[in-house]
Structure 1
Amino acid sequence: MNVVPDTSAVVDGRVSERVEDGTYEAVTVVVPEAVVGELESQANDGLESGWDGLEELKRLAAFHDDGTIDLRYVGERPSGDARSHAAEGDVDALIRDVADTQDATLLSSDVVQAEVARAKGIDVEFVEPVARGVVDELPIAEYFTDETMSLHLKTGTKPRAKRGSLGEMHYVVIEETETSEERMTELANAIVDLARQSADGFIELSDDGMDIVQYRNYRIAVARPPFADGVEITAVRPIAKTTLDDYEFADDLRERFLEQQRGVLISGSPGAGKSTFAQAVAEFLNESDYAVKTMEKPRDLQVGPEITQYGALGGAMENTADSLLLVRPDYTIYDEVRKTRDFEVFADMRMAGVGMVGVVHASRAIDALQRLVGRVELGMIPQIVDTVVYIDAGEVHTVYDVTTEVKVPAGLTAEDLARPVIQVSSFETGRPEFEIYTFNRQVVTVPLGDEDGEQTESGVGRIAKQEIEREIRSVAHGHVDVALRGDDEAVVYVEEGDIGTVIGKGGGRINDIENRLGIEIDVRTHGENPSEGRASSRSTGGPRGDGRTAQVGDDRGSVVQPEITSRHVVLDVDGGVGETVEVRANGEYLFTATVGRGGEVQVSRGSAIAEELEDAIDRTQTITVVPAR
C-alpha cells in the first residue's frame, strides 16, 4: 500500500500516529518534495507548523531505519513562485500529481485538498485537522488593569506597561522576572492563533517577522526575528471612551459640524487622546443622521456597529477612497494621516465634497496645518482644512479656524504687496494668530503676536529682518546689521566701502529692494550704529574683510552636506517634508525655506541666496538646518 501525505497531514503528525497504532503496517510512505519545500519555507519564516512538520519527517525516517515502513521522497521541489502562491493551490497540485502517478492514497487534513483530489479520481483518506494552539481568551489580558493603556513584552526583558490617566502615563515595570524566549514564542503563537480562530478577532497585517492583530478592543503587534532582534509583543487598548459633551467647546463644535461638511484635523502628540476624541466625533455625527465611515490602518477606533470601518484596500488607501466615493458617506474619519500620500488622499476626498476628519501627529496645533504645506497647493489649504483641533492630555487645548483672504500681510504696509494669505484664527476669540503666505518666493508661517496680541520680533518683524538682511548681504562684501524702525522702516548698517554698492547707481538697487519687500530702508555705516561695540545679532558667518568672525548660535541644528549641481544647490534635510526651516552657516542665518517632497531644499544657482550659500561652502563653514521658530 502506498500513502502520500500532504503538508497538513505531516504537520499534524497523522502518518506516525497511524504507524504507531498499527493502521499503517508495512506501507510505503511517499513524501512529495513539494511537502518538504513548503515545510522548509515555513520553518525559515519562524512558523511553528514548519518545525512540527520537520519533526514528523524525522520520526518517519526512524520508522524506515528500523524496517517498520518504507520511506521515499519523490516529485518536483516547488519553485519560489509556487511557494508564494501556496494559498492558491500550486503546492497542493504538485502533491496530488505525486499521489496520482504513484497510484497511492492521499492522506490529508485539508478539506479543499481532499475534495479536489476526489474530483480528479484520486483515492483519499481525510482526517480531521488537529486543533493547534486553541485558546479561549487573550493570554496577555491578565496584564491589563483599568489604567493600563499598553503592554510591552520582549524576550529577555522585564514586562513593562504604560499606566495612568490620559496625559499622566508612566512607563513602569510590572514584573521583576525577565520573559524567556520560550514564553514569548508561546504567547506570540497563542495571540495569532486566537485571532485566526475567534469571531472577535482578525489579522490586520501578516508579513515576514510581523503580525498586526485586532482582538476585541486590543491592537497587538507581534514582531519576530529577523525583522526584530527578538520576539516582541506590543498590545494597546483604549482606556477611555468619551462623548463630545466631555470636551471644551462642545456646543460650538457641534454647531460647526452640523452646519456643513467640514475638513478637520485632530492633532496632538502620541498618547494625547486624538483617537479617543475622533471616535467621540464619529459617534456624534452618526447620531446626528450623518452617514459616517472610517479609514484606518490598522482598524482600532472603538465605534458603534453602524459605522463601517475600512482598511487599506489592496494595501493602498487611495483604493479605499475610490470605493468610499461610491458609498457616498457624509463624513469620513481618517486615522492616521501621516505620509504624503495620506494627505493627498485626504485632500482629494475633501475636494470631492466629503466631510473629512483626519488624525495627525503634531507637537503644536499650527504644526498640523504646516504638514500640508508642500503636499498640496498653498491656496487650496483652507478649502481642504477649515478647522484644527489640538488635543493635549485628553482635553481640547486649542481650536483654530482656517480661512483665506487677499490682503497685505500683517506687518507690511505697501498696497502692492497684497497677496493670498491664509489666516489661522483662535476659535475662541476670533483673533488671528498666524498667517501663512509666500514671501519673497518662500512659504512662511508667521506668528502675529504674543498672548497679549502685541507684535513681537519672533513674528513678522523677525521674518522681515531676515529677508532684509539676506537681500543686503547678497550685494555687500562686509558685515551687515539690520535694525527695524516700525512696521515699514528699517536701518541697514554696512561697511563704509559697501555704501555705494548697496545703494546702487542713482539709488536704483536699494529702491528695487524696498519695492520687493515693501519696507523703506535707510543705509548707514557701522560707525553710525548706536549699538556698535556689542555683539551683533547677525554676521556674515565667517571671516570677512572687516576681520569679524561668525557667531555660533545656541541652536546649532542638523549639519548637512550641500550638493552643488549644474542648476541647484541641494540640501538633504532627511525628512520634514513641508516644514519651514532656517539654513545657517556657522550658526548665522542665511535664508528660510520650505522642505520639498523629496526631503530636500533646492536653491537655484545664480540667485542671491545660492551665491551666499556657495560662498559659505567655499569658506568651509558648517551648514546647518533648524526648524523655523
Structure 2
Amino acid sequence: TRDFKLFAELRLSGVGMVGVVHATNSVDAIQRFVGRIELGVIPQIIDTVIFIKNGIVNKVLSLSMVVKVPSGMTESDLARPVVVVNDFETQKAEYELYSYGEETVVVPVKGEQKSPSHELAARSIEEEFRKHSDNVKAEMAGDHKCIIYVPKKDIAQLIGKQGKNIERFEKKLGISIDVRELDGKNIESNSNGEGNEIEFTTKVSKNGIMFYFSGKMRGKDVDLYIENELLMTAKVGHGGNLKFHKRNKNGRKLLEALDFGKRVRVMG
C-alpha cells in the first residue's frame, strides 16, 4: 500500500514514471489501485496500462474520466463520474469504474444488441421527427424511452416553449423522449463502416444531382455521408433514386464535395 501511495504522489506531482505491478489480466492491474486512491484521480495517475503476457504486449488500455450514465442504466438522473477504460487501439470502451452506493465497482461494457422491435420503433420515430428536421437519429434506451439526436439549430424548435412541443410528441408516441445534439459521436458506428455501404451511381444535370440505386432500395431510409460526416437521412424514392436540387443546401454540399474529390458514401 505504501508503494501505491508513493507512486500516486509522484505521478500527481508531475513526475513521468512507469510503474510495474503483477496481475492476471490488464484490468486487474487497475483494480489494485481501487480503494487505495480516490476514484476521481485514477485517470491522472494511470492514463495507460500495458499488459505484457508471455514476453509480448497482450493488451493496451487507456483511461479517462467522464460524467455519464453508466452502461446498462437509462435514467438521466443516474449520471455520475465514471472512469472509462478503453482499448487503446480501437478506443472502444471495455470497462467502467464508478461508485455504486458505498462501493466502487468495475463493470465490463458489453456490446449492445438492439432488438428488432426497438429498431422498428426507432425508425418509426425518426419518420415522425423528420417532418420537423432534416437530420434525425433515434435510439431506443428501453421500452419506454427514446433519445432523439438532431442538429443543434433544431433542438429549441422541437422542444418548444416550456417544453410544450416535446410533451405533445411524448403523448402522441406514448414514450419519454430526450432530445440531444447530433454530432460525430452519435454516428460513430456508421462512420467506422459497421453499417452496410450501398452502391450507387450519380448524374449531375443543370438543375441538380441524382443518385441512382438498385431496385431493392426503393422506399428505404439511407444515410448520406461526406467523408465521415453525416449530411442527412433520406428515403429512396419509388423509382430507386434520390434527387437534390442545386438550390437546396444539401444539394450544394454534395456538388461541392464531388467537385473537390471528397468521398461521398451512402449507408443503410
TM range (shorter): 0.3 to 0.5
Looking at secondary structure, tell me which structure has more strand per residue.
2
Larger radius of gyration: 1
User: More relative contact order in 1 or in 2 (CA 8 Å, sep 6+)?
Assistant: 2
* TM-score (norm. length: structure 1): 0.18
TM-score after normalising by structure 2: 0.42
